[in-house]
């Protein structure tokens, strides 16, 4: 058996992480030259972050380095513990190359210790819901092998849809061209994105206006949600709570048994998607995009 850990890019709320007995890796971001590490909402000043970004400041995110990962992993290995890490999508960050380098060095000091990493091929609560279910299984006494077997099937059922308000944030992250961002902003288009089975972001539509965006997200949940009494539906907003609440109400009108959890988007994810982003994360029959 291993110690089960996740990371703050999975965005499970700090109280839920504590309930589950999960350890997590805090991912960094910087704003106005000051570095922060996301604490899953425990002491985060969300108002300061979003007000500052809306005021024109550009937040930045960065990968952890090998020394960071050695600092994180060494205490487990010193205690004679192996680690099972349920991580956010490897395709969306170079940080896992740094993790590999750190683990290679640590193996020389701790040759009997093992690090297993499960790539959820998702982000935000698309990764978090997988860490959550892994922890639930662990609390029931499941072995590492049983948890990994579950995750390999479960990951292909996790659906993530989100709509961004300002395409310029995606442009800075390299997710759309400058011309497309400017044109989309002028036209008022709201791109809808999802995460494919390889863990990459895919634009699946461009919607005209916020009202259409909210109704489209609601319909995705209404039409595709499976096991509504077993798994939570997460509705996340990047500082647009009233719209997130409206999205919740639209879903409950047609899916009254849905177990909806409302949550604000954290600063690391918010640095890439920008204020005004709305998203839904839930368990369906399969991921929205299957690559052939």
Assigned domain for 289 exists: no
The DSSP line for 45-61 is -HHHHHHHHHTT---EE
Q: Return the pLDDT at 180.
A: 40
What digits encode the pLDDT tens for the residues 163-198? Answer: 998 766 565 555 444 434 433 443 467 889 999 989
Pair (215, 279) in one structural domain: yes
Q: Which three-class secondary structure state does DSSP give residue 112?
A: coil
- Residue 290: pLDDT band with limits 50, 70, 90: low
Is residue 89 pLDDT above 90, yes or no?
A: yes
- Residue 239: pLDDT band with limits 50, 70, 90: very high
Q: Return the pLDDT at 172.
A: 57
Q: Which residues of 248-268 are buried (b: 16+ CB within 10 A; e: fewer)?
A: bebbbeebeebebeebbbbbb
Q: Using the 3D structure, point to which of 155, 185, 200 is the last residue of a domain.
A: 155
Task: Provide the CATH number for the domain around residue 151.
Answer: 3.40.50.10170
Assigned domain for 196 exists: yes
Q: Which residue has the tokens 């997200």?
A: 217
Pair (45, 170) in one structural domain: no
Task: Provide the CATH number for the domain around residue 257.
Answer: 3.30.1180.10
Q: Using the 3D structure, point to which of 112, 131, 155 is the last residue of a domain.
A: 155
Q: Which residue has the tokens 């024109």?
A: 56
Pair (150, 189) in one structural domain: no
Q: Return the pLDDT at 164.
A: 93
Q: Residue 31 has what DSSP assignment? A: E
Q: Using the 3D structure, point to which of 105, 122, 155 is the last residue of a domain.
A: 155
Assigned domain for 290 exists: no
Pair (28, 166) in one structural domain: no
Pair (197, 238) in one structural domain: yes
Pair (78, 213) in one structural domain: no
- Residue 287: pLDDT band with limits 50, 70, 90: confident
Pair (67, 22) in one structural domain: yes
Share of the chain above pLDDT 70, in %: 91
How many domains is the chain partitioned into structurally?
2
Q: Which of 85, 87, 172 is nearest to 122 (CA)?
A: 87
Pair (148, 169) in one structural domain: no
Pair (27, 115) in one structural domain: yes
Q: What is the 3 state secondary structure string of 66-102? A: HHHHHHHHHHHHHCCCEEEEEECCHHHCCHHHHHHHH
Assigned domain for 94 exists: yes
Neighbours of 198 (CB within 10 A): 14
Assigned domain for 292 exists: no
Rounded Cα distance between 113 and 144, Å, is 14
- Give the structural domain span for 176: 157-283
Q: Return the pLDDT at 279.
A: 97
Assigned domain for 291 exists: no
What digits encode the pLDDT tens for the residues 127-175? Answer: 999 999 999 999 999 999 999 999 999 999 999 999 998 766 565 555 4
Rounded Cα distance between 59 and 53, Å, is 7
Pair (176, 64) in one structural domain: no
For residue 34, give both structure tokens. 């000051």
Is residue 292 pLDDT above 50, yes or no?
A: no
């Amino acid at each position: 058996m291993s110690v089960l850990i996740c990371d703050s890019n999975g965005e499970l709320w700090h109280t839920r992480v504590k309930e589950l007995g999960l350890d997590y890796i805090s991912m960094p971001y910087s704003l106005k030259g000051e570095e922060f590490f996301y604490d899953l909402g425990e002491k985060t000043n969300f108002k300061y972050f979003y007000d500052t970004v809306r005021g024109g400041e550009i937040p930045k995110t960065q990968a952890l380095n090998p020394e960071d990962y050695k600092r994180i992993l060494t205490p487990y290995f010193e205690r004679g513990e192996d680690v099972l890490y349920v991580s956010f999508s490897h395709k969306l960050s170079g940080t896992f190359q740094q993790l590999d380098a750190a683990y290679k060095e640590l193996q020389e000091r701790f040759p009997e210790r093992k690090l297993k990493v499960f790539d959820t091929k998702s982000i935000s609560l698309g990764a978090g819901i997988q860490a959550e279910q892994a922890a639930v299984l662990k609390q029931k006494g499941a072995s590492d092998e049983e948890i990994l077997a579950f995750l390999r099937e479960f990951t292909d059922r996790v659906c993530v849809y989100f709509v961004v308000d300002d395409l310029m944030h995606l442009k800075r992250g390299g997710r759309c061209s400058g011309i497309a961002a400017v044109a989309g902003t002028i036209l008022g288009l709201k791109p809808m994105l999802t995460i494919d089975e390889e863990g990459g972001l895919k634009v699946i539509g461009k919607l005209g206006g916020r009202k259409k965006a909210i109704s489209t997200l609601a319909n995705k949940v209404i039409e595709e949600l499976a096991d509504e009494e077993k798994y939570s539906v997460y509705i996340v907003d990047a500082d647009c709570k009233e719209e997130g609440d409206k999205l919740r109400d639209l879903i409950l009108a047609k899916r009254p048994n849905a177990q909806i959890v409302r949550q604000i988007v954290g600063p690391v994810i918010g640095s890439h998607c920008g204020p005004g982003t709305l998203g839904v994360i839930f368990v369906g029959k399969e991921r929205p995009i299957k690559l052939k």
